[in-house]
């Protein structure tokens, strides 16, 4: 299938500079394209997944994607979608973030089997040597102020008297255009892809290429991903969902997807997986007929977690999920994943086992029960478990063997109320 058609049925085509022309252009394999990522943080997040996956989709379709790091543009700040100026970062910070993002992205492409087809580049390499005179004469000369003021990214800021837009961010469009023209001239790049807010910058690049080289190039953007509930995609109660496991644990990552709304899950399967149209339609039918089974959500969580964190981490996450919510054996699961899963649960830490209070008081201290007396009643009624094993004796003494890995004990009241006790 032509990659243009695949992106279309997946709902990933928002704007193009020329639908028919681009589709015909992509009939020939080996087309060079790029997508830029400014290193504004030390990790990519799931909001970056659509363009990352698009580069992989193009690679699988036989084209030649460039993963562009904005080592130069990241020092300037993109005004697109922003209502005020970005805080400028030092070159050292931007460079360090760029290296981390590059390693993260290339590991992602490696897991998908397309690392050899994706080439990382950094726009600082060709921007740094240019003098200000060269920039103004060779590039700036091709842009009129009228043309730049008409772009949404600039127009929206001009109307804000209290913030406006600096000359620095005003020039961002020209820098991004310079990237496209440079890659077109040196590497035969004929397509830039990006988020919907980048269309103005992309078309500015097309204009520069036309003026300086006379060549034909194209632009393509993806739609802004939103949820049916109106919540911002990619955000949880704790903030952004990062691809770095140190910032968002694989368990939390998995849970974000498995909790997808029924109204969103089919679209998410199209956007964020490589599943075929037939497989997604089958899961859509199952979701409509048996929504309580959450088959589509489980498949979505499996696909995305394996893609970002690998099969080994997925296995750990699924084992912990089954143990916590299916009543499985907690002694056999990965302790680090278990701790991450229960990060939001109430917890108490004690220096030694001898410092841990009796079980009824422990339940009250963890707010799993309102009082010691109610805790004793709940224990007698069989409503309390230690590491998923039901307790029936209120004078049950805790022993070293109760602590998983020697330092972790999981208390549960009812089906979903957990408490964590740690030693040391």
Query: How far apart, in whole angstroms, are the C-alpha atoms of residue 67 and residue 389?
Result: 50
The answer to whether residues 51 and 57 touch, using CB atoms and an 8 Å cutoff, is no
What's the token pair of residue 29? Answer: 């394999």
The verdict on whether residue 339 carries a ligand-binding annotation is no
Query: How far apart, in whole angstroms, are the C-alpha atoms of residue 115 and residue 107?
Result: 8
The answer to whether residues 204 and 177 touch, using CB atoms and an 8 Å cutoff, is yes
Residue where the block lists tokens 């204009």: 207
The verdict on whether residue 374 carries a ligand-binding annotation is no
The verdict on whether residue 147 carries a ligand-binding annotation is no
Query: How far apart, in whole angstroms, are the C-alpha atoms of residue 27 and residue 36?
Result: 23
Give, in order, the Cα–Cα distances in Å from 335 to each of 238, 338, 349: 22, 5, 16
Residue 225 carries which DSSP code? P
CB neighbour burial string for 126-146, b if at least 16 within 10 angstroms, e if fewer: ebeeeeeeebeeebeebbeee
Measured at the CA of 300, the angle between CA 295 and CA 303, to 5 degrees, comes to 125
User: Within 10 Å of residue 392's Cβ, how many Cβ atoms?
Assistant: 11
The answer to whether residues 309 and 253 touch, using CB atoms and an 8 Å cutoff, is yes
196 — phi, psi (to 5°)? Answer: -55, -30
For the chain, the straight-line distance linking the first and the last C-alpha, in angstroms and rounded, comes to 58
The verdict on whether residue 235 carries a ligand-binding annotation is yes
Binding residues for ATP: 235
Binding residues for L-tyrosine: 34, 172, 176
Binding residues: 34, 172, 176, 235
């Amino acid at each position: 299938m032509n990659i243009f058609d695949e992106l279309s049925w997946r709902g990933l085509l928002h704007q193009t500079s020329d639908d028919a022309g681009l589709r015909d252009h992509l009939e020939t394999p080996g087309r060079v394209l790029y997508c830029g990522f400014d290193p504004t943080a030390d990790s990519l997040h799931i909001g970056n997944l659509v363009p990352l996956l698009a580069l992989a989709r193009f690679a699988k379709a036989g084209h030649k994607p460039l993963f562009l790091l904005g080592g130069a543009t990241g020092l300037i700040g993109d005004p697109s979608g922003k209502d005020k100026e970005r805080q400028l970062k030092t070159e050292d910070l931007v460079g360090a973030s760029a290296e981390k993002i590059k390693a993260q992205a290339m590991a992602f492409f490696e897991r998908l089997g397309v690392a050899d087809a994706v080439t990382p580049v950094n726009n600082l390499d060709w921007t740094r040597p240019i003098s200000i005179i060269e920039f103004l004469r060779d590039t700036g000369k091709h842009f009129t102020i009228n043309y730049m003021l008409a772009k949404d990214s600039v127009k929206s800021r001009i109307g804000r008297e209290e913030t406006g837009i600096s000359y620095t961010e005003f020039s961002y469009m020209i820098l991004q255009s310079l990237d496209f023209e440079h890659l077109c001239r040196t590497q035969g790049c004929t397509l830039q892809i990006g988020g919907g807010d980048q269309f103005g910058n992309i078309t500015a690049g097309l204009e520069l290429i036309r003026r300086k080289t006379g060549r034909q190039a194209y632009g393509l953007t993806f739609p802004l991903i939103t949820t049916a509930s109106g919540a911002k995609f990619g955000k949880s109660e704790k903030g952004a969902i990062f691809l770095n496991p140190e910032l968002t644990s694989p368990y939390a990552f998995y849970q974000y997807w498995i909790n997808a709304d029924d109204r969103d899950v089919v679209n998410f399967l199209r956007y964020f997986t490589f599943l075929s149209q037939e497989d997604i339609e089958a899961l859509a039918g199952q979701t409509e007929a048996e929504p309580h089974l959450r088959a589509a959500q489980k498949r979505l969580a499996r696909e995305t977690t394996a893609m970002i964190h690998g099969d080994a981490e997925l296995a750990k996450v699924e084992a912990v999920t089954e143990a916590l919510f299916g009543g499985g054996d907690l002694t056999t699961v990965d302790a680090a994943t278990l701790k991450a899963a229960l990060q939001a649960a109430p917890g108490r830490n004690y220096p030694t086992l001898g410092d841990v209070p009796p079980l009824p008081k422990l339940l009250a201290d963890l707010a799993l029960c309102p009082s010691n007396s109610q805790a004793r009643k709940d224990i007698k009624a069989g409503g309390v478990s230690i590491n998923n094993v039901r307790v029936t004796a209120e004078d049950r003494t805790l022993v070293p063997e109760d602590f998983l890995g020697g330092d972790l004990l999981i208390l549960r009241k009812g089906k979903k109320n957990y408490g964590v006790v740690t030693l040391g």
